[in-house]
Amino acid sequence: MIAGKGGGKEKYDYTTMVAQNLQHKIFSTGQRSGLKQFYTDVRSRSVWLCEPLETEDYVVQPSEDVSPPKWHLGHTSWFFETFLVQAFHPHFKVHHAGYGFIFNSYYESIGERSPRNARGTLSRPTVKDVYAYRAAIDEQMLAILETVSEPQWPEFERLTVLGLNHEEQHQELLVMDIKSIFAQNPLRPVYRASQNDTAHHTDAPRGRTDTAFASGLYTIGHATEDGFAFDNESPPHQVFLEGFTLENRLVTNRDYLAFIEDGGYTKPALWLSDGWATVQREGWHAPLYWEKLPEKSGGLWHETTLSGFHEISSLLDVPVCHVSHYEADAFATWSGKRLPSEAEWEVAAMISGAQVTDGNFLERAAFHPKPAHHDAPATLQLFGDVWEWTASAYLPYPRYRRESGALGEYNGKFMSGQMVLRGGSCATPAKHIRRTYRNFFQPDKRWAFSGIRLAGDF
């Protein structure tokens, strides 16, 4: 059993997480023991992320974008029950007739569901009930894993790996949503004291330099023989790129503060039309979670992090985060640069030899981006720390085909009105990310750990 609050917690300790991150073992297909370990690790990590929460924290929903932690725990279990237990358990019986309505997210073909903006209005099922639901589904999943027949194994394995990657996505959402929940509380609660505090670093590079990449024909996208990937990462295809440059590091709080102090949020010429309308409507004047205290309290900028409320002066060389695509684009225009296309980003990651294992990911338990500690010609922090906005709309690759059935709703139906981000963040599980991974959000969204890297032409 992989238990949680109300069910005898099994600790998922920080030391183990870092060791697993450094080993960076990728699940190998065809191994029941390997799949069992993968399943146990992922499901335990979700429980670990919720350990600092009090019962009251599990039900809060500050905005429609944010889901209560209780809902994430229930939804990921519902996914396994709906797409695996129902299909492979010989004596399947639904755990609770009402849970499908509560924990379905956007699968229209599965049936009706509770409105997204009403998830925080439901006091039942209780937190204890949700953990009992997780335990029941885990028990059934692990039993199926041991007994499923060899002819059924390939499909069971494929769907289980998909479900675990789906839960890893929700682990990042859990961190994002917990931050939103805590940030709107005037008591300024601390989620976890960072194991690697981001404050007070002084050895980060001050300047940004360009790395040039030659024009040419390149292949991007994920090949099926390279292991698991979501369907939106395929198929591989060729793109022609003009010569471009990519800056060697991410835009920092220091850089972005200069944009603010130069009146960046007051100059409509810097902004896309929709972006300027959003700035005016929402009253934006800084990244999300930045707050300027009243003059009587020093008048200084502070940033809310999951490890506390910090002066920006102690975080100047930390990559700026929680900015929208509109803000990223405006900063790029102000800088005389642009955002890279997603193809440019992927090609740069390939050519530079950047390694996923070098990144600041969820397992590091920093829960915030960290400064780059050395100045080098190599491109820094391509993986981890913050998702990097690109200039590319989220669209299907050439010859892309959606999967049939309900799982075809997973990615393909969102290919409208969203922008692509690359590279992962400090809230992304390390084993979840790869060079071809395509994240996507609407251009006004800011609650993700999203940041900026600038590109140019040559």
SS3 state of residue 105? coil
- C-alpha of 382 from chain center: 15
Give the per-residue pLDDT at 15: 46
CB 210 within 8 A of CB 246: yes
Question: Which of 245, 65, 242, 42 lies closest to 137, judged by CA?
Answer: 42
The two three-digit tokens of residue 412, written as one number: 């393909």
Indicate the pTM of the whole model: 0.92
Burial class (CB in 10 A: 0-12, 13-18, 19+), 324: buried
pLDDT at 107: 84
Report the SS3 class of residue 42: helix
Q: Return averaged pLDDT per consecutive 10 residues of the chain, 458 residues in all.
A: 48 49 54 94 97 97 97 97 95 95 87 92 97 98 96 96 97 98 96 64 64 97 90 96 96 98 98 98 98 87 96 96 98 98 97 88 95 69 96 96 77 90 97 96 98 97
Angle, CA 361 vertex, CA 356 and CA 363 arms, to 5°:
115
Q: What is the Cα–Cα distance from 98 to 114, expressed in whole angstroms?
A: 10
As given in the structure block, the two tokens for residue 118 are 């009403």
**Tell me, what's the pLDDT at 203?**
53
Coil, strand or helix at 376: coil
Domains and CATH numbers, the chain: 14-183 (1.20.120.450), 210-457 (3.90.1580.10)
The DSSP 8-state label assigned to residue 378 in this structure reads: S
CA distance 201 to 194: 14
Q: What's the pLDDT score for residue 279?
A: 98
What confidence score (pLDDT) does residue 207 get? 72
Paired tokens of 322: 């929680």
Strand partners, 311: 302
